[in-house]
Structure 1
Amino acid sequence: MPTAPTLELRRYSRLKNLRERAERQGAALQFWARTASLAVISCFFSLISRWDASLLFVLAGLVLFQLVGLIQFRFARRRNAPWWIGYLVGTLDIILLTVLLVTPNPFAQEVAPAAMQLREGSFKFLLIFVCLGALTLSTRLALYLGALAALTWTIGVGWVVFHAGTVIPATNLYSLPMTERLNLYLNPNFVDTFAQATNVLVVLIIGAIMALVVSRSRHLSEDYVKAERARANLARHFSPNVVDQLATDDEPFGPVRRQDIAVLFADIVGFTHYSEDHPAEAVFELLRQFHRRMEQVVFDHHGTVDNYIGDCIMATFGVPQASHDDATRAIQCAEAMIAALEDWNVQRVSRGYPPLDVRIGAQYGAVVLGAVGSERNLSFAVVGDTVNVASRLQALCRELQANICFGSRLVEAAKAESPATQLNARDHGPVSIRGRDEPVHVWVEHRAENQGAIAVSA
């Protein structure tokens, strides 16, 4: 049996694979978001700028960014794409964009001082590429791009500052008189180092925020997977409406407690001989069809599928919360199971297969119920004399030539719930059952005709 560390390693491996797949899908999403962003920027510059060599240079740069993104997209589509491709493309993006933003356009008709490049607000385009990195759902990549953008912009500003003729404030700019500050701003060679430091701080903060958003998204996805796994486990036992209710509770099954419920067992007659004479595939196909049909009947009557034991299905009524008509619904469910089986037999006979026969036992009484198992494999259990009696009543059907055997406590509870309840079963009287000293008062119900045992799977 796998140990706890082994199970934890398997869980970690599954989560790692899910994350890698999400990152690959995020890289594809990043490419399309990048394409849309570059298309919008291209249209914007085409509309507001004069068509000349300078504009064509800008558009060529945007095309180059798209080609770099296409390289990453092609790698991202591969299952074994190298982890470093996102970092490489991000590095090329940030460095290339910084060079284009801080250096003059070589085709511009008028060459402006290098300091003027920093005043045009083009720094904001760096933020687009930092945000695009978050779409990969990689926390490290988001942090890396934010830090790289801050570093390259700092280097770019430094390159401008060290240009001959560049003017920077000798003291705190905001401590100077307004006249001196205006004179500095009007100087085309002036670089506001405080504003550029603010830009660096902003890109670092945005990079950190993007990393936090990605980290939060990853944790939410893990929580969602756990919630869906828990919901799937509940759906194996409860009807969809009960699953919706239980899925919202922190402790869906509640504490271990004693409670009066109805318990039902339904079993295919002759299944053991059938399983010995037929291939395993046919056996399991029959079981799946039988369980699916009987399960739906149980859910239609707001019952709970407690367990599958081979060809036997165990259902309870009053779990997890007791209702005012649990016994009545158990009786109605047993009769509906017989009706559903008869409908299925019509289909089987029409296809050339013999009909099936099922025997059902049900009882009402006190049980102990609660969650059992470990955190890795938690299930809901119902134990007690009522469960044992219901199982024995199902086995008693063959001896009494009955399709359904109800314990008298179930019938009494149903009459107490609704005095006008009409029963198709008849009072058979006390019967001794295996494993019990005292006899059990039994009510039996027969179908109009005996349809025989199974022979061939549909």
Structure 2
Amino acid sequence: MADTDTAGRFGMRRRSLEETEGRAHKYLEEALDQNKREGLLLSVRARTISLVVIGVFVAFLNPHYSVIYYEVLLVGFALIGWAQLKIGRVGRSRAELLLLFLDLALMTVVLAVPNPLDPRDWSVGMQYKFNNFTYFYVLLAGATLAYSWRTLFAVAGYTTLLWMGAYFWAKEQPSSIADLTDKVTAAVSDYPHILEFIDPNNVQLEPRIQEVLLFAIVAGILALNSWRANRLLVRQAEAARGRANLARHFPPNIVDNLATRDQPLGDVREQPVAVLFADIVGFTKMAEAQTPDAIVALLREFHSRMEACVFDNGGTLDKFLGDGLMATFGTPDTSPDDAMHALQCAQSMNNVMKEWNATRQDSNLPPIRLSIGIHFGHVVLGDIGSERRLEYAVLGDVVNVASRLEALTRPLNASVLVSDAVIEAAGGPDTAEKLGYKATGPQEIRGREQTISGWQLSHDTE
């Protein structure tokens, strides 16, 4: 091949590696995004049900028009939940943190500020006598469904800040029943520890500290569980990426089998494999007359058609090589029909190209000529590369000879050239004749001292 072809293949291979890296991030991002959206949706649904239950419960406890105040605030919680669903996304979001803070701030107002519609005399201190802090756990539970473990710590921090702020605010508020403190004091003056609890104007500090401390502990435990679930999600995303990578190389029926193995491709080993190289003849000249977009579109369609031929015949797509590809038959597991499958794949590729060229002719496009070389023998299978990036590769003289046979199709004016080893493994000369092959005699292979007996399939052979 010309240097420009080699450079083109190298460039395509490099882009393929970059695309693989991109797919790794893509699968993780998609998994995290899907998990976030599902969590937000589930959280909003759970919140809505909870708000309905709380609304009915509050109306039952307080069958008075003043309950409208709490019902309106419950609608506010519902609107905040809807807003969180609309703007939720993976990653740090100030808008989401703001909504989360508003959520907790509204809860603080509900629990710490007396109902302005209630006509009864009431004090701020009385608000704390009912231990309503437990309603904060409803918001914490919703945050656990929708947000990351880091955000749960933010929930704990916001709650502590708001609740303790509400305590100091409540301590400074005047009371409309201040004289009641004097009456209660007179009644239980000998029991100061009891007075501390029943004084309607007293807001105790110790229970507030206990509330936020326990809330922070529970939030920390839930954050730990969320962190653990996130790690599981990442592992699942990596498994999906691995399965997708297998699907790029193997037929779908083989992917299901490989995905269940601890070592899908096995250890480094040697085994007999049929290696097929396919290439577009004269691609460099063809590319000179087309735009980059047209070239990429042509290659994508070509690769798609050839990939289907490989998979339909039980082959493994080893790699795309710019305007060509390399496929193997007998990886990861061998079978007695590997050589025959390679020959059938070549036949299928030729037929597909004829159909495609007929379509191209109808569109006044030039035909595309395909050349294929196949060799059969023992290869080494194993990982190559660095610790940072490994690639499963097929190595050995068989690969080199298959590539050289593909190049020899041009001077022989053949669409397919296979070695005698392929024919013998597929059943011998009788099989070759049935498939339309004819012997070409010994062929000199660049880089080898010994010749190789070849069999060719002419362009006119179906």
Report the TM-score range of the alignment, normalised by the length of the smaller protein: 0.7 to 0.9
1:260-284, CA deviations, whole angstroms, 9 ceiling, x for partnerless residues? 1000111222223222333333333
In structure 2, the CA distance between the partners of 1:105 and 1:223, relative to structure 1 (3 Å rule), is: same
TM norm structure 2: 0.73
Identify the residue that residue 136 of structure 2 maps to in structure 1.
Answer: 126
- Alignment of 1:349 onto 2:361: yes
In 1, the alpha carbon distance for the partners of 2:427 and 2:415 equals 21
Q: Which moved more, 1:126-135 or 1:57-66?
A: 57-66
Identify the residue that residue 434 of structure 1 maps to in structure 2.
Answer: 446
In structure 2, the CA distance between the partners of 1:102 and 1:267, relative to structure 1 (3 Å rule), is: closer
RMSD (Å), alpha carbons? 4.7
Identify the residue that residue 3 of structure 2 maps to in structure 1.
Answer: none
Q: How many residues align?
A: 424
Q: Describe how 1:321-340 pairs up with structure 2 within 5 A.
A: 321-340=333-352
AA aligned opposite 2:275: V
AA aligned opposite 1:287: L
AA aligned opposite 2:368: L
Q: Describe how 1:91-106 pairs up with structure 2 within 5 A.
A: 91-101=101-111, 104-106=114-116
In 2, the alpha carbon distance for the partners of 1:239 and 1:16 equals 24
AA aligned opposite 1:140: R
AA aligned opposite 1:241: N
Alpha-carbon distance, 1:157 to partner: 8.4
- Alignment of 1:211 onto 2:232: no
In 1, the alpha carbon distance for the partners of 2:29 and 2:270 equals 44
1:323-366, CA deviations, whole angstroms, 9 ceiling, x for partnerless residues? 23211111111111111111112211222223222121111101
Residue of 393, 406, 420 corresponding to 1:408: 420
- Alignment of 1:237 onto 2:252: no
Identify the residue that residue 60 of structure 1 maps to in structure 2.
Answer: 72
Q: Does the Cα contact within 8 Å between 1:113 and 1:188 map onto a contact in 2? A: no
Residue of 288, 294, 302 corresponding to 1:282: 294
Q: Does the Cα contact within 8 Å between 1:253 and 1:371 map onto a contact in 2? A: no
SS in 1 for 2:365: coil
Q: Describe how 1:134-145 pairs up with structure 2 within 5 A.
A: 134-145=144-155
Q: Does the Cα contact within 8 Å between 1:22 and 1:136 map onto a contact in 2? A: no
Q: Describe how 1:30-429 pairs up with structure 2 within 5 A.
A: 32-33=44-45, 36-37=48-49, 39-41=51-53, 43-45=55-57, 48=60, 51-66=63-78, 76=87, 83-101=93-111, 104-108=114-118, 122-149=132-159, 164=181, 165=184, 202-415=214-427, 422-429=434-441
AA aligned opposite 2:301: Q
Q: Does the Cα contact within 8 Å between 1:303 and 1:316 map onto a contact in 2? A: yes
Q: Does the Cα contact within 8 Å between 2:31 and 2:237 map onto a contact in 1? A: no
Q: Which moved more, 1:56-65 or 1:17-26?
A: 17-26
SS in 2 for 1:405: strand
Q: Does the Cα contact within 8 Å between 1:424 and 1:445 map onto a contact in 2? A: yes
SS in 1 for 2:249: coil
Q: Does the Cα contact within 8 Å between 2:380 and 2:395 map onto a contact in 1? A: yes
AA aligned opposite 1:57: Y
Alpha-carbon distance, 1:100 to partner: 3.2
By percentage of residues, which structure has more helix? 2
Q: Does the Cα contact within 8 Å between 1:102 and 1:156 map onto a contact in 2? A: yes
In 1, the alpha carbon distance for the partners of 2:282 and 2:164 equals 82
In structure 2, the CA distance between the partners of 1:88 and 1:276, relative to structure 1 (3 Å rule), is: closer
Q: Which moved more, 1:87-96 or 1:284-293?
A: 87-96
Identify the residue that residue 177 of structure 1 maps to in structure 2.
Answer: none
In structure 2, the CA distance between the partners of 1:438 and 1:64, relative to structure 1 (3 Å rule), is: closer
| Structure 2 unmatched runs, 5+ | 1-21, 172-177
Q: Does the Cα contact within 8 Å between 1:90 and 1:145 map onto a contact in 2? A: yes
Alpha-carbon distance, 1:381 to partner: 1.6
AA aligned opposite 1:310: G
In 1, the alpha carbon distance for the partners of 2:64 and 2:242 equals 62
AA aligned opposite 2:355: D
In structure 2, the CA distance between the partners of 1:324 and 1:188, relative to structure 1 (3 Å rule), is: farther
Percentage identity across paired residues of the two chains: 36
Q: Does the Cα contact within 8 Å between 2:43 and 2:145 map onto a contact in 1? A: no
In 1, the alpha carbon distance for the partners of 2:382 and 2:116 equals 77
AA aligned opposite 2:303: H
In 2, the alpha carbon distance for the partners of 1:223 and 1:36 equals 32
Q: Does the Cα contact within 8 Å between 1:34 and 1:69 map onto a contact in 2? A: no
Alpha-carbon distance, 1:300 to partner: 0.9
